[in-house]
Structure 1
């Protein structure tokens, strides 16, 4: 009858007005379409940017390696001077570029829109990239993974600003985690890092589109860099009986050592002790002293420069290394981090963890060397960043040691508990307090 509504299940006619309404809601000009495009375009760009940054950092590390071998004593002068120069430039021109980059992304979640003009602005991250490469050229014990997180978050900010859509905290997390995925060629570890560390224990809702961005960034980086494992296909494994002996010792030793490192960094960055007051009053001089410590360790050992990747990989594959490598690398990384240079601690922490595992090889000489070293890496890394799931998946994906996952998980959770004996506060979240955005006017 006329005037009655169509029966249920009967399709309504697609009129021009309905087509126009659909285009407004979901077409190329709609907010939904532009938001999805911004996230996916950002993910692709992150993979490319992370790869280029990795290539530049590796080039800088190789250049310093040739320099230090050709003139082994000169770093005693040039490294402290480089530290002083980089800290002076950072404080004058890009104060928000100092340190790792992960605390900045954590702090940016409070107000992503304003953060695109400050913590993750193009100016800040360009300076971050250049200064980090300068730190590598100077022999600093820094990694590129933390800066890659800040770079990746900034890329997401740019794509959202270009397409005129608001930047949400969850997408900012996705950008930072995509940087981890691209830096280590580990998409799954990037996903867990988003949930476990940047999002602070599942406090953020992670959508399918956010997960896709992380995976896409990792796949783009993989397609450019090639399908490779960061430390090589190790395939380590360990019997249950051996794991019952090694896991508790590795977890406690690595967790306490990592907690000590975190406590040193937080004590200088946020404490009120004499060292932290001197560092804040005379930052350039303090950086020079820290650079002197790094130079002395580097010249004396020849192994503590840069990320420590080569030394770590050698220990993983079973090459004997000096027992002092772990403590010396820890000291060099701590001195670099408290100096205030831009640069990350991911890769150096894995190297220190390999040193911890190398010490454990002396305690358990009859057990598989590769497996013992990897458990030491998991334990120390968890002790520093307090992200056990991320640590296990990173080491699994970078070494291909899936048969070791159960001992790694047990080690990680013991290390997480042991680290809290020494340092209750999580490192990145404690450092993020120094980057908190002021309230809007």
Structure 2
């Protein structure tokens, strides 16, 4: 009887621990969803405020954008180190690292707060950046903070928080799961897969409850009809993939530090460099008729919904503004800008395929360029399919994503997120070794 009771008690304890872990993932998912909604609403207000400023004074960006970039980099370096850039490389690196302190340096509540505040500052001054990448790092940070209650599940919690961030930011639950498997973990983890899916569902339901059920770019029903129109698939795939590879290559090269005097000057004067990048972003914005400021979401959605014309130079100027924003060192994602750049590429290629609906060209361009940047083809076509609610284009989008990802590797051997994550891993490992070494004179 005593033996049975002891076994019974152990079983109850194990069952309680299992449900506690599940509750932890669900609670974290709800928190990530709520924060994602808050960041969405605040980001929209920040962009609106900047555009209202431009309506009052056409040349305001020449002052506000450089000054905002300089302030953003100063705040990042001084108060929120490791919050720069997209935030997705930090989440990937945090999963690869093993020590708590190493992970805490990349995903923490302090970093999450800084990520939100400085990302909003960037959008307030016209940065060509998105909020979705930051939401991934914020989600990973929230889950990691909850990981104190379940230390053994820290890598799984980071994965769940990052995937939930994608799902809540775009209202694309399937894309969140696929992104977690294909890009963040590069593997299917049987033990945590159910918990990750639960966190994604909780985040998605929270976002839907607060914002309502919606498609990110609205509903699009355009499709390819003839064999001749299908020629747009390989053309968009190659062009978009190569452009995405060029973008990734530039970011990876500059993240590692330029050699010589220029690279040394950038390291010594990061705030001044950010100001110069801000000047470039302002000039790109003015040259584009103010269309390259911000995420690019409104511009592409307007074309899809109303057929609003964009200047032919939109894609190249948006690409230049996004590169300058990304290398400046301010927090901000490349998700939305990449989709906008891809949409612009698709619009330009539409001049060749005049019989193909413009909506189709935009979708093919978005998938191609995004797949070229991240080299995650499954995520690329799933996320665009969910964002436009166009399942009739799934097969063409699959083919485009595969072609683009292969073309991108000709220029950049690895996707930008994983390539940048290696820098954070390398920075963390020497610090860990230094702390493990005994002080001088101690044997």
- Say whether 1:180 aligns with 2:166: yes
Q: Which runs of 5+ in 2 are unaligned?
A: 437-443
Equivalent residue in structure 2 for 1:158, among 145, 168, 176: 145
Question: C-alpha separation between the residues in 2 aligned to 1:86 and 1:243?
Answer: 45
- Say whether 1:58 aligns with 2:44: yes
Q: Is the 8 A contact 1:242 1:367 kept in 2?
A: no
Q: Is the 8 A contact 1:101 1:149 kept in 2?
A: yes
Q: Is the 8 A contact 1:113 1:166 kept in 2?
A: no
Equivalent residue in structure 2 for 1:80, among 66, 69, 77: 66
Q: Output aligned runs, 1:24-423, within 5 Å.
A: 24-27=13-16, 30=17, 32-109=18-95, 110-111=97-98, 113-115=100-102, 117-161=104-148, 163-200=149-186, 202=188, 206-274=192-260, 275-301=262-288, 302-317=290-305, 318-423=307-412
Normalization by structure 2: what TM-score? 0.92
Question: C-alpha separation between the residues in 2 aligned to 1:377 and 1:266?
Answer: 21
Question: C-alpha separation between the residues in 2 aligned to 1:239 and 1:420?
Answer: 30
Question: C-alpha separation between the residues in 1 aligned to 2:420 and 2:327?
Answer: 11
Question: C-alpha separation between the residues in 1 aligned to 2:264 and 2:228?
Answer: 47
Measure how far apart 1:164 and its partner are: 4.7
- 1:100-155 CA distances to partner (integer Å, 9 max, x unpaired)? 10000010012273345311111111111100000000100010011100110111
Q: Is the 8 A contact 1:112 1:169 kept in 2?
A: no
Question: C-alpha separation between the residues in 2 aligned to 1:238 and 1:394?
Answer: 19
Q: 1:410 to 1:338 in 2, by over 3 A?
A: same
Question: C-alpha separation between the residues in 2 aligned to 1:272 and 1:372?
Answer: 36
Q: Is the 8 A contact 2:319 2:341 kept in 1?
A: yes
Question: C-alpha separation between the residues in 2 aligned to 1:411 and 1:243?
Answer: 13
Structure 1: which 4+ aligned runs deviate by more than 4 Å?
12-19, 201-206
- 1:203-260 CA distances to partner (integer Å, 9 max, x unpaired)? 7865212222122211221121100000001122112514431011100110011111
Q: 1:402 to 1:164 in 2, by over 3 A?
A: closer
Q: Is the 8 A contact 1:112 1:172 kept in 2?
A: no
Corresponding residue SS for 2:104: coil
Question: C-alpha separation between the residues in 2 aligned to 1:214 and 1:148?
Answer: 13
Which one has the largest radius of gyration? 1
Corresponding residue SS for 1:363: coil
Question: C-alpha separation between the residues in 2 aligned to 1:414 and 1:309?
Answer: 25
Question: C-alpha separation between the residues in 2 aligned to 1:36 and 1:423?
Answer: 39
Question: C-alpha separation between the residues in 2 aligned to 1:206 and 1:414?
Answer: 31
Q: 1:234 to 1:267 in 2, by over 3 A?
A: same
Question: C-alpha separation between the residues in 2 aligned to 1:280 and 1:63?
Answer: 32
Q: Which runs of 5+ in 1 are unaligned?
A: 1-11
Normalization by structure 1: what TM-score? 0.92
Question: C-alpha separation between the residues in 1 aligned to 2:60 and 2:337?
Answer: 23
Corresponding residue SS for 1:429: helix
